Amino acid sequence: MVKLNLDKVSESSSWDAGLYDRSFGYIQKMALDLIDDLSPKQGECIVDLGCGTGEMAAVIARTGAEVIGVDNDLEMIRLARLKYPTIHFDCTDASDMQFSRKVDAVFSNAALHWIKNPMPVISSVADNLKLGGRFVGEMGGEDNVKVLIASLYDTLNEFGISKDLVVNPWYFPSVKEYSLLLEKGGFDILSIDHFQRVTPLDDCPKGAEDWYEMFAGRFLTNIPESLHGKIIKRASMIASDELLVGGRWFADYTRLRFHAVKQGI
């Protein structure tokens, strides 16, 4: 078993891990083919970076690879450990991963867009990979959730709240920008694509309202909590013009998907 250095564990939580599993399972289901790109093999050691409640880690582990799930959210890690007790999960920061040996691959789904400063993460991935090791990931790309975000800004404007109060917690890079960073981090890029993935919110009974309740907490962090419910309801109403189609809610996701290898062989 690869051991993590746990000196720098971030024991914070801002997630309702149970709700994440119940209503947002599409995040894993719609990206399952990313595991085909990863092509895990028996005996390999693979890190699932931003593993959440462990769903993708469990799929990868079924191939016979040894998986280490890493997330900086303790609630997510606690639930992952409960669900998958045979997999090793650790609460640690993506920019500061330290394993006792180099790993074969680092995989990441729907996590990297939560990290505003991408270069330390890319460097940390490179530091922990063997030469020729794979970095396979998917994240929100340029213009991701544009309607959902614009509806929040429109609502704040209507409420007379300055947009300077907003903390936009997301990083949605273009192909060009992320390619440059990967190359700077010592990776050769085998593929990198940006594409739309209009995503049904079928397990969210209140559609965009549920999405905002799950994900917009950090965006609204400087705004009095007593207003959050009203802001979310109004933003959801505005977003419904484009995202509620025939009684069905959709999120306007775009994805950036890449497969890179650490240079040196």
State the nearest-atom distance from the C-beta of 188 to ligand BEZ, in Å. 26
Among the residue ranges 14-22, 96-104, 127-135, 140-148, the one whose residues contact ligand BEZ (CB under 6 A): 140-148
Contact flags string 165-204 toward ligand BEZ, x per CB under 6 A: -----x----------------------------------
Structure tokens at 163: 């947009």
Q: Do the bridges between strand 45-49 and strand 66-71 make them parallel or antiparallel, or are there none, so unpaired?
A: parallel
- Tell how far CA 184 is from the center of its chain: 22
Nearer to ligand BEZ, 47 or 110 (CB): 110
Per-residue exposure over 87-102, b if at least 16 CB sit within 10 Å of its own CB, e if not = bbbbbbbbbbbebeee
Give the C-alpha separation, 213 to 228, whole Å.
Answer: 9
Which 3 state secondary structure label does DSSP give 48?
strand
Identify which of 148, 143, 137 has the alpha carbon closest to the alpha carbon of residue 174: 143
The single residue among 140, 185, 186, 207 that binds ligand BEZ, judged by CB under 6 A, is 140
Residue 153 interacts with ligand BEZ (CB under 6 A): yes or no: no
In the complex, the smallest distance separating the C-beta of residue 27 from ligand BEZ, rounded to whole angstroms, is: 6
Nearer to ligand BEZ, 92 or 144 (CB): 144
Shortest Å distance, C-beta 106 to ligand BEZ: 18
Residue 192 CB, nearest approach to ligand BEZ (Å): 17
Q: Which residues pair with 194 in a beta bridge?
A: 256
Place of tokens 């060009």: 176
Secondary structure (3-state) at 27? helix
Pick from 51, 110, 126, 220: which binds ligand BEZ (CB under 6 A)?
110
Contact stretch for ligand BEZ (CB under 6 A) within 62-70, 139-147, 160-168, 220-228? 139-147
Residue placing its CB nearer to ligand BEZ in the complex, 92 or 199: 199
Binding to ligand BEZ in span 226-255, by CB under 6 A = 253
Helices marked H in the chain: 17-23, 26-29, 34-38, 55-61, 74-83, 118-128, 146-158, 175-184, 208-215, 225-243
**Parallel, antiparallel or unpaired: strands 45-49 and 103-109:** parallel
Q: Is 262 in the site for ligand BEZ (CB under 6 A)?
A: no
Binding region for ligand BEZ (CB under 6 A): 27, 110, 113, 140, 144-145, 170, 215, 253
